Amino acid sequence: MDLRLWRQLNTTKQLVAGLALGGALTGLLIVFQALFLARIVSGVYIGHAQWHVVWPFSLMLLAIIALRSLVAGFQESWALRFSAESQTRLRHQFIHFLLHEGGGSETRPDSGALVTLAVQGIDDFEVFLARYLPQIVITALVPAIVWLGVVSRDWLSGLILLITLPLIPLFMILIGRQAENHSQRQIQLMNRLSGHFLDVLHGLDTLKLFGRSQEQSKTIYRQSEAFRATTMATLRIAFLSGMVLELIASLSMAFIAVAVGLRLIHGQIPFETAFMVLVLIPEFYIPWRGLGAKFHDGLKGASAAKEIFELMESPLPALQGGHVQLPQSGPWSLEWRSVSFTYPSRTLPALEDITLALQPGQRLAIVGPSGSGKSTLIQLLMGTYSFSGEIRVGGTPLSELDLNWWRRQLSWVTQRPYLFDGTILDNLRQVASDASTSQMQQALVQSGAWEFISQWHDGWDTQIGQEGVRLSGGQRQRLALARAFLLDTPVVVFDEPTQNLDLASEQALLDAMERLSKGRTVITIAHRLSTVTRADRLLVLQQGRMAQWGSPEELLRKPGLYRALVDAYQGRETAHAPLQADQVL
Amino acid sequence: MRLFKLTKSYKSLILMAFVFGAATVAMNLGLQSTSSYLIAKAAQHPGTILLLWTPIVAVRFFGTARAGFRYLDRYFSHDVTLRWLRDLKVHLYQAVEPRMGVLGRGYQSGDVLSRVGSDVDSLQNLLVSLYEPLAIGIIGLLMVLGIGLWLNPPIAISLTLMLALSGVALSWSAARVSQLSSQGLVDLRSRLSAALVQLLHGLSDIRALNLADRVEAHIDHLQERIQTAKRRLSRISGVYNGLSLFISWAGMWVVLQISIFEAERHQLQPVLVPVVALLALASFEIVSPLPAAFQEAGGLKRASQRIEELAGLPDAPQNARRTRPAEEVPSVVLNDVSLDANHASRPILERVSVTLAPGRHVALMGPNGSGKSSLVNLITGLTPFTGGRVTLDHTDLGDWDPEAARRCFSVVNQFPHVFHSTLRANLLLASPHATERELHHAMQLAGMQPLMKTLPDGLDTMLGERGTTLSGGEIKRLAVARAILKNAPILLLDEPTEGLDPLSERSLMEGLMEWARQRSVLWITHGSTNLDLVDEVVILTGGRIIEQGSPQRIAKHPMAKTLMDLALLPE
């Protein structure tokens, strides 16, 4: 098991200690329970004792049963509580790491995987702690104590149990491994077959258009039948492990019963002992069965935890800023000098040798396919990571600036703005707590958000998010713009919307962006040719390098990608297209 | 439950699974009681071991048979489950397929489909996790009653009562626990996961706005509330867990006390006291799976109700239909066609009239949300329209057999589906008997050669789930290749060049229009480029036609300029 798991979560020590105590107690109670049961039964049967003789034992037995149930109840709630707490702590650490140290989701290979890890992975980890860990502790302790109870009364039965003991994990591993090999080959096939039904349902339109939808019920039957056949082939082996475990338990019970019975005939062993052993045998095997059943939960949770620890051990290098706050107010000139950056887990640089300069108040449009380094360029400007080369703001290197101050000079309107569950007003106050009511209304009007907010019954006191109004993509972006208006920073970064918005909202959004751009230095990650033509400077990025750089007019005169694009949009055959756009964009 | 009719062909298998399950329980009862009988008998010091021969053999038999029956039980119940799953899927598909139009389009239908998917997931467990424990519980109870009556009636009755009581009590409290846990907690958890998703996608935004601490506090607050709910739940489950253990052992205890009294009254042979004790203990295995079964019962009931509702919806009317194919290239005429939206005040399409004469190439241009795609769904009979008339080859669309009508169209739809199968299978869908040459020709026209070079197994490469291995542009090219393979007289293209750069767009459209020279084409586009390739352009916005005419005239229309400005650069 992963050592980091123990180191990270202090409370698991408590959890394990508590569970161990409970497990040991359970084991002892099981032994005493068997002892008293045997005493009562043998008293009545052999000693012909009547109820008034055995009742103290009966009461003791009932008390032990109650105590055992109490321990089981405590153990369950203890495990659930501590696993929930550990899970909360791990998620807190993970979120804290992502917010303060890790890169944005755009820096990770797959943001979908990150979401799955933070939501499902940590839940799996909770199941691991709540279900698998207690079962391990119980399996380690209860059979051992039960065995001691048996062997203290009858060494021969103890010996039989001891002989069967290694058989259980041995067979479980042997058969488990074979089932794994077997299923490794089939797991993909099985996944595909079982997913076929949903695939067909989602593709129903396409099937109808090709006149192939009616015959699909036959295909579904065929695929499901194939799924059944392959699954049963795998299960046949998987069930074997269950059968072996069952067989070992049953046969050892049968063996012990016979062995004990034979010695009873010759009076070599008292009936009470024999009966007690018989009661204890099933208790010896029950925990193993539970462990087998929970094995998969354990595996999933442990691997999720491992993934999270690995992620948290590779933080991105943060930029250490200085103390300079520029005296004159912005906008300032911006200058990149041979800026290069490589993400720690990657071999190829995300940005390589970027050198460019912007005059105060100029507009820069950046164009390039996804993964070409557009977002990274902005992240570096914000001072998120340390990098090689230099970025200068008004002539001062970024590394000398007070980064907290610098980040307040810059706003970034992204495609997926983060909005809190709460009212519109709350969301604005979160970013600018000292803004006046009129300033906030001004910002909403400027961004075009007022248009839809004023139509709501509660205006800007309307709840948005999970329990309130669900906003459309265009509405969310207009709110994000309103925040930027409110922040009123000298430098603004836009991630131009690419979502399918309707004509009116798209135009409203672009108009608002145009208004916000006035009198500021603006960097736009552009997705529209019209945005590019309005910019003062154009940067074409390709795999982290500068493919083209200059003013749009300049670039229009030179052969190259930009000119080819403009020609194509205007329906002109391009005279010379040295670059196929397909290869660059 | 009507769904049970589906199990007709393997009723005997289900019975076998139940019988083997009950036999497993019976073998355990046998093992416990014969082994205790064995030692009880042995304690009487019989003169010869031969007197013990029967219980010894019985103990060994029950021990081995239990494992064997358990294996058979698991095997048959899984086999039956998979058969049931298979028939359930087919049944559902046959219910959904003709009703797609009624179920609604877009988001709504996606919702229905994912619900159907999850209902299938929960219903597949119906036989094994609900009905088998119930069946075994009833059979087991009868068995215990039978064995008990043979031993001593009061013991038999009290044991059966204790079993029934604990089965009911435990099932009820388990259902209660799961109900409590789903209250509030489910809602909180979905809120947390929504917040986490938003956080992870909005990380840059959060950093740029310096919101990290506030976001963290927000998440912590949600987690705190979940924690409180869980703390309460953990107490309840602790109580439940302890209680369920107590009930089964206390049941044994009660039966034991009764057996002591009965032995005292000479109603029970003393040698049977140990037998009764272990039999009672073993018999609680019969009711222990019941709580879990009842926990699922509620969900299963809801799922089966939904599915029966779905199957009960009216399907498309099946009156006399034209199946005679159209000759040559048929015309398509839309006359004052309207389409009302379900909940919006504004109709999606309003009195739209377009004529697609044989051999004409018409572009339908308009911004997003103007109703262009609805037009394609309506012409191909996927969506019913609410007003006006559509004729295909001079026959009303309503009088056509929908399958026959669709044979006239090669369609590239807005969201073409890529099946989780090979590229070949995805293409052959359009034309099952296409030759290798035809496949390659279609792919060449669709511009798929660069993609082909990157595929490891060529045509036999598996395409990922929902086409995740392909880019948006590649999916559209695949759809174009399919449309070419289908080789129908009318080509309906819904944004076939979406996701392509302007240069590739130009060459694809040129090739397609050339290929379709003898065919009619209705090309839907939200851009204003390459209009020179068609005979006529129609501008649709807000569900209405605002202008139609020659490409030269439309190029000067202000909407053409607007659309040019909004056109996205390729990714």
Summarised one tens digit per residue, pLDDT across range B252-263 is: 899 999 999 998
Give phi and psi for B520, each to the nearest 5: -90, 150
* Assigned token pair, A541: 């990025």
Contact residues, chain B, for A428 at CB < 8 Å: none
* Cα of A579 vs its chain's centroid, Å: 41
Cα–Cα distance, B140 to B24 (Å, whole number): 10
What mean pLDDT do residues B345-370 have? Answer: 86
Do residues B308 and B336 both lie within one domain?
no
Residue range A3-194+224-312 in CATH 3.40.1190.20: no
| Residue B67 confidence (pLDDT) above 50 | yes
B154 is a domain residue: yes
Please tell me the least confidently modeled range out of A98-107, A336-345, A550-559, B194-203.
Answer: A98-107
Residue A312 to residues A10, A104, B53, B162, Cα–Cα distance (Å): 17, 13, 66, 54
Cα–Cα distance, A2 to A17 (Å, whole number): 18
Q: Do B501 and A582 touch (CB under 8 A)?
A: yes
Quote the pLDDT of residue A124.
82
B369 Cα to chain A: minimum distance (Å) = 5
B571 is a domain residue: no
Quote the pLDDT of residue B377.
86
Contact residues, chain A, for B94 at CB < 8 Å: 217
Highest mean pLDDT among A337-346, A365-374, A436-445, A510-519: A436-445
Do residues B161 and B290 both lie within one domain?
yes
Do residues B240 and B362 both lie within one domain?
no
CB atoms within 10 A of CB A155: 11
Cα–Cα distance, A375 to A525 (Å, whole number): 8
Per-window interface: B 319-358 vs A, CB < 8 A: none
3-class SS of residue B47: coil
Compute the count of residue pairs across chains A and B with CB atoms less than 8 Å apart. 459
CATH number at residue B402: 3.40.50.300
Under DSSP, the state recorded for B563 is H
| Residue A510 confidence (pLDDT) above 50 | yes
Contact A416, B201 (CB under 8 A): yes
Q: Which residues pair with B5 in a beta bridge?
A: none
Taking the CA atoms of B463, B467, B468 and B469 in sequence, report the sign of the dihedral they define.
Answer: positive
Closest in B79, B207, B264 to A232, CB measured: B79
Cα–Cα distance, B388 to B374 (Å, whole number): 14
Do residues B170 and B128 both lie within one domain?
yes
For residue B489, give its domain range. Answer: 332-566
Cis peptide before B55 (omega within 30 of 0): no
| Among A250, A382, A574, the residue to mutate for chain B (most B Cβ within 10 A) | A250
Q: Do B230 and A84 touch (CB under 8 A)?
A: yes
How far does chain A reach from its first CA to its final CA, in angstroms?
Answer: 46
Closest in B206, B242, B530 to A418, CB measured: B206
Quote the pLDDT of residue B290.
84
A452 Cα to chain B: minimum distance (Å) = 16
Do residues B414 and B291 both lie within one domain?
no
What mean pLDDT do residues B327-343 have? Answer: 84
| Residue B168 confidence (pLDDT) above 70 | yes
Do residues B508 and B434 both lie within one domain?
yes
B320 is a domain residue: no
- pLDDT confidence tier of residue A583, bands split at 50, 70 and 90: very low
DSSP run (H or E) holding A547 = strand A545-550
CATH number at residue B55: 1.20.1560.10
Q: How many domains are contained in chain B?
A: 2
Quote the pLDDT of residue B60.
86
Cα angle value B303/B307/B312 (rounded, 5°)? 145
Residue range A319-409+489-585 in CATH 3.40.50.11930: no
B336 is a domain residue: yes
Domains A319-409+489-585 and A417-488 share a fold: yes
- pLDDT confidence tier of residue A577, bands split at 50, 70 and 90: very low
| Residue B137 confidence (pLDDT) above 70 | yes
Do residues B15 and B82 both lie within one domain?
yes
Task: Tell me the CB-side half-sphere exposure of residue A21, using CA atoms within 13 A.
Answer: 11
Cβ within 8 Å of residue B335, ≥6 positions away: B353, B388, B389, B390, B391
Tell me what percent of the residues of chain B surpass a pLDDT of 70: 93
Beta strands in B284-436 (DSSP E): 332-339, 349-356, 361-365, 387-392, 395-396, 409-412
Contact residues, chain A, for B411 at CB < 8 Å: 209
Which chain A residue's Cα is nearest to B420?
A199
- pLDDT confidence tier of residue A57, bands split at 50, 70 and 90: very high
Contact residues, chain A, for B197 at CB < 8 Å: 115, 119
- pLDDT confidence tier of residue A575, bands split at 50, 70 and 90: very low
Q: What residues does each domain of chain A span? A: 3-194+224-312, 319-409+489-585, 417-488
Do residues B298 and B401 both lie within one domain?
no
Which chain B residue's Cα is nearest to A580?
B503
| Residue A320 confidence (pLDDT) above 50 | yes
B325 is a domain residue: no
Do residues B11 and B117 both lie within one domain?
yes
Q: Do B503 and A564 touch (CB under 8 A)?
A: yes
| Residue B320 confidence (pLDDT) above 90 | no
| Domain end call among B279, B312, B345 | B312
What mean pLDDT do residues A240-251 have? Answer: 80
What mean pLDDT do residues A331-351 have? Answer: 86
Quick: pLDDT tens for A93-129. 888 888 887 655 444 545 566 777 787 788 888 888 8
B236 Cα to chain A: minimum distance (Å) = 8
**What's the mean pLDDT when you consider all of chain A?**
82
Contact B50, B103 (CB under 8 A): no
Quick: pLDDT tens for A516-560. 888 899 999 888 877 888 889 999 988 888 988 999 888 888 887
Closest in B45, B197, B368 to A265, CB measured: B45
Q: Do A84 and B204 touch (CB under 8 A)?
A: no
Quick: pLDDT tens for B395-447. 888 888 888 889 999 999 888 888 888 899 999 999 999 999 999 999 999 99
| Residue B493 confidence (pLDDT) above 70 | yes
Contact A109, B214 (CB under 8 A): no
| Among B60, B78, B85, B89, the residue to mutate for chain A (most A Cβ within 10 A) | B89
| Residue A253 confidence (pLDDT) above 60 | yes
Which chain A residue's Cα is nearest to B71?
A243
Contact residues, chain B, for A243 at CB < 8 Å: 67-68, 70-71
* Assigned token pair, A522: 């603006």
The answer to whether residue B115 neighbours chain A at the CB level (below 8 Å) is no
Closest in B215, B241, B257 to A72, CB measured: B241
Helices B132-151 and B11-42 meet at what angle, rounded to 10? 30
In the sheet that holds B544-549, the strands lie side by side as: B409-412, B490-494, B520-525, B361-365, B536-541, B544-549
What mean pLDDT do residues A498-509 have? Answer: 72
Closest in B39, B242, B568 to A278, CB measured: B39
Taking the CA atoms of B123, B127, B128 and B132 in sequence, report the sign of the dihedral they define.
Answer: positive
Quick: pLDDT tens for A154-204. 898 999 888 888 887 777 777 666 656 655 556 666 666 777 887 888 888
Helices A167-202 and B53-96 meet at what angle, rounded to 10? 20
Residue B562 to residues A305, A510, B546, B559, Cα–Cα distance (Å): 52, 12, 14, 5
B405 is a domain residue: yes
Do residues B356 and B295 both lie within one domain?
no
| Residue B498 confidence (pLDDT) above 50 | yes
Entry pTM:
0.75
Q: Do A228 and B569 touch (CB under 8 A)?
A: no
**What's the mean pLDDT when you consider all of chain B?**
84
Closest in B63, B413, B506 to A253, CB measured: B63
What mean pLDDT do residues B113-134 have? Answer: 78
Quote the pLDDT of residue A105.
44
A249 Cα to chain B: minimum distance (Å) = 8
Q: Do A84 and B370 touch (CB under 8 A)?
A: no
Which chain A residue's Cα is nearest to B69?
A243
Tell me which amino acid residue B473 is. Answer: G
Tell me what percent of the residues of chain A surpass a pLDDT of 70: 87
Give phi and psi for B387, each to the nearest 5: -160, 155
Quick: pLDDT tens for B210-251. 788 888 998 999 899 988 888 888 888 888 889 888 988 898
Closest in B36, B250, B369 to A65, CB measured: B250
A338 Cα to chain B: minimum distance (Å) = 24
Which chain A residue's Cα is nearest to B418?
A203
- pLDDT confidence tier of residue B486, bands split at 50, 70 and 90: very high
Do residues B340 and B296 both lie within one domain?
no
A429 Cα to chain B: minimum distance (Å) = 11
Residue B528 to residues A505, A514, B354, B364, B447, Cα–Cα distance (Å): 19, 23, 19, 10, 22
Contact B212, A35 (CB under 8 A): no
Cβ within 8 Å of residue B15, ≥6 positions away: none
Q: Do B196 and A115 touch (CB under 8 A)?
A: yes
| Residue B286 confidence (pLDDT) above 70 | yes
Tell me what percent of the residues of chain A surpass a pLDDT of 90: 20
Thinking of the domain A417-488, which architecture would CATH place it in? 3-Layer(aba) Sandwich (3.40)
Cα–Cα distance, B328 to B340 (Å, whole number): 33
Do residues B433 and B519 both lie within one domain?
yes
Please tell me which residue, A480 or A346, carries the higher pLDDT value.
A480
B456 Cα to chain A: minimum distance (Å) = 18
